[in-house]
Structure 1
Amino acid sequence: MDASKKPEVWLRGPVSGIPVLLQPAAHALLQSREEVFNYTEAFPEVLLWDKPAGRASVGFHLQHITGVLDRMLTYAEGKPLSEEQFEFLRREGKPTEDRKLANLTTDFSKKVDEALEIFKAIQDEILTQKRTVGRKKLPSTVLGLYFHAAEHSQRHIGQMLVTISVLKTD
């Protein structure tokens, strides 16, 4: 069945193997992945880096949701970001030869798969453990980081949809 004819992911029941407390985050990430592929299916590659009205490009949104998900998973492990992650952050929104639409959507899909595997392996008691975010070491928890990664992805998918809609009507 076409994903557009199915109910939203959160209305399809539990995601197999995911703990109850992480179901909302898993649903949001899976919804984000479906929407990424649905919204970009007929999107012209030539418009990937266009910034209508100075707003973020579709390419930026795709890079950013992948990068943020990766960074939140790292913080949830209690680890600092690597130099590779900082480099990825510095390059967000900057087009290069290897940053094609298919690569960006596939990268996000793989990162969602990685997150779901982490969710499946986690013990409930870990979810409330304190974690810090960024150089300022702002307070959070493992659950807070997973939730933020999921809701942040959804927020950027909405922004990306608007950008796609504007670019396709120009």
Structure 2
Amino acid sequence: MPEPWLRGSLVDVPAVARATLHALQLAEEDVTRWCADLTDIELNREPLGLPALVFHIRHLSRSLDRLLTYAEGHQLSVVQMAALGTEHTADIPSSVVLTEFSMSLAEAAQRVRALSTLNLEEPRYVGRKQLPTSLGGLLVHIADHTQRHVGEIITTVKVLKALRQPNART
């Protein structure tokens, strides 16, 4: 099956938001595919000093919420700031992490759709320093950032699976 952006889907959504939604769909498909047969221990492991998969997956879930908050023209809440500090928490069951990820993608898709008809040039501000960007810039960054972490997830899974082999170095 072709990647989401080649399926002719979401034609009711303007191009930039559609590309963002396709990136989120691809992320869910890739994470599901690559992490399906991993154990909780493997998801929490830091092979060869790489960040654990649970970090990447939790970071994706929570960063989507943060970036979309900025895209909506708001600043982060106390709850969002507190969640930021828990992304590196270890020993999280895969069912918890993957459910959080799936739910965050579904919520993010709704929020992207709600933003899809707004002017992409509208100014937005990120973080305490109020760094300037635009709504379009945030939507593109959401897609880029998501795919960057998915690439790291896939690479880490490949390392973990190689380490399953006898005589593999740790």
Q: Same fold, TM exceeding 0.5?
A: yes
Alignment of 1:97-136 (within 5 A): 99-122=92-115, 124-136=117-129
Q: Is the 8 A contact 1:17 1:120 kept in 2?
A: no
Q: Which residue of structure 2 aligns with residue 39 of structure 1? A: 34
Alignment of 1:8-157 (within 5 A): 8-15=3-10, 17-96=12-91, 99-122=92-115, 124-157=117-150
Q: Is the 8 A contact 2:120 2:134 kept in 1?
A: yes
Between the aligned partners of 1:25 and 1:151, the Cα distance in structure 2 is: 9
SS in 1 for 2:83: helix
Q: Which residue of structure 2 aligns with residue 165 of structure 1? A: 158
Q: Is the 8 A contact 2:16 2:140 kept in 1?
A: no
Between the aligned partners of 1:123 and 1:164, the Cα distance in structure 2 is: 34
What's the CA shift for 1:119?
Answer: 2.5
Between the aligned partners of 1:47 and 1:132, the Cα distance in structure 2 is: 38
Between the aligned partners of 2:142 and 2:162, the Cα distance in structure 1 is: 31
Unmatched segments (≥5 aa) in structure 1? 1-5
Between the aligned partners of 1:123 and 1:9, the Cα distance in structure 2 is: 18
SS in 1 for 2:13: coil
The alignment-based identity, stated in percent, is 36
What's the CA shift for 1:124?
Answer: 3.0
- Per the normalisation by structure 1, the TM-score is 0.89
> Pairwise CA RMSD of aligned residues?
1.5
Give the count of matched residue pairs.
Answer: 163
- Per the normalisation by structure 2, the TM-score is 0.89
Q: Is the 8 A contact 2:68 2:108 kept in 1?
A: yes
- Further displaced range: 122-131 or 159-168: 122-131
Unmatched segments (≥5 aa) in structure 2? 164-170
Between the aligned partners of 1:125 and 1:47, the Cα distance in structure 2 is: 42
- 1:122-160 per-residue CA deviation (whole Å, 9 max, x = no partner) reads 353432210011111111111211221121111111111
Q: Is the 8 A contact 1:76 1:142 kept in 2?
A: yes
CA distance 1:123–1:12, shift in 2 (3 Å): closer
